[in-house]
Amino acid sequence: MNRTTFTNRFLVMLFVSTVLFSKAQTDSIQVVFHVLHHGGVENIADSQIVDAIRILNEDYNKLNADTADVVAPFKSIIGNANIQFKLASTDPQGNPTTGIDRIYTSYITAPIADSFYLNQWNPAKYLNVWTIKQGVVNPPATLLPASADSFPERDGIVMGHSFIGSIGTSKPFNSRALTQEVGRYLNLLHTWGNGNPNITCGDDSVSDTPITKGSNLSCNLNLSECTNGVIENVQNFMDYSYCSRMFTVGQAARMNACLNSSVANRDKLRSTQTSISSSLDNAFKLSVMPNPFSNAVRVSGLAEGSYRVAVFDVMGQQLVNLNNVNTVGQSLYLELSDISARGIYILSVSNNKFTGSLRLLKE
């Protein structure tokens, strides 16, 4: 589908409904694991893959128990992305599947260019994860959506088998590596951005993550190398520390914006499932008026409280960032006159208990 066709269909959807989340629902992404092996230990057990899915669902729904260990400066901004992952139940031909695709291949011991991306399932419908033997060659980096849009045949995640889950050939020490790679798949940068690790301080374009030097291979919870008096978010899943515990509210909003963007077909990945968290219950009446808008909008259906508000364009670029916006009754009144260009935008409303997104049309 070309961009014009997509936009036209999207505008129709806007006038039908602007609500992306409904009561007791969350975003669910179908995952397929392609286990590339040559008859060795890299042919990991189903249970190890199931364990990896469990960890993803905990981390992306703020259900991981170790959030209790997050240090005080970041405890109030632990983000809940409200994204659920499940092993695919049907393959691209509509046949039943376990979501685990085992591929016996000699490429595992003698890889060539792109030999890891075997038997890719439609990346517009599935998150493809390839598990490989380690020590032969480093896995290629997970493409950000903008790059995957140009190279769809490489859209997915390649991981060494000992970084899948916390059991089998893996260990708890390695269990958050997939969480980080999925974050990159959903348009998150490392917390130090595109800077040179251990050399320059960098920004990841998310307002509530501090400027970071990275990459932190230890766990110094008092690290402050970039901004005087500001400690860095070493416990962030997008760092390399061994004590990662959290995403921020801003990162959760950025991932939700990604899932509402046509870039690399991320907006087609979601399916509706029963929520594994009750935090979306507040969102079932969420609405925005007027839509299309000129300068200001009212977001209704929220629980009373204070929220962070962000607006993204369809490429995932953050245009507006407002913190501690208080409701009037159950509504937020937002001045958005800084958005001048006509088009489609994603409005994210979130706090430490809730993340919701709405599609906006600027007239």
Beta bridge partners of 26: 273
**Triad 82, 247, 265: Cα angle to 5°:** 55
- Concerning whether 363 is annotated as a catalytic residue, the answer is no
| Helix, strand, coil fractions of the chain, as percent rounded to 5 | 25, 25, 50
Give the active site residue among 42, 58, 153, 181: 181
Q: Which of 110, 90, 107 lies closest to 98 in space, CA to CA? A: 90
Rg of the chain taking only CA atoms, in angstroms:
20
For the record, the structure tokens of 363 come out as 């007239």
Using DSSP, state whether 38 is helix, strand or coil. Answer: coil
Q: What is the DSSP string of 205-245?
A: S-TTSPPB----SS--TT--SSBTTB---TTBTTS--TT--
Positions annotated as catalytic residues are 181
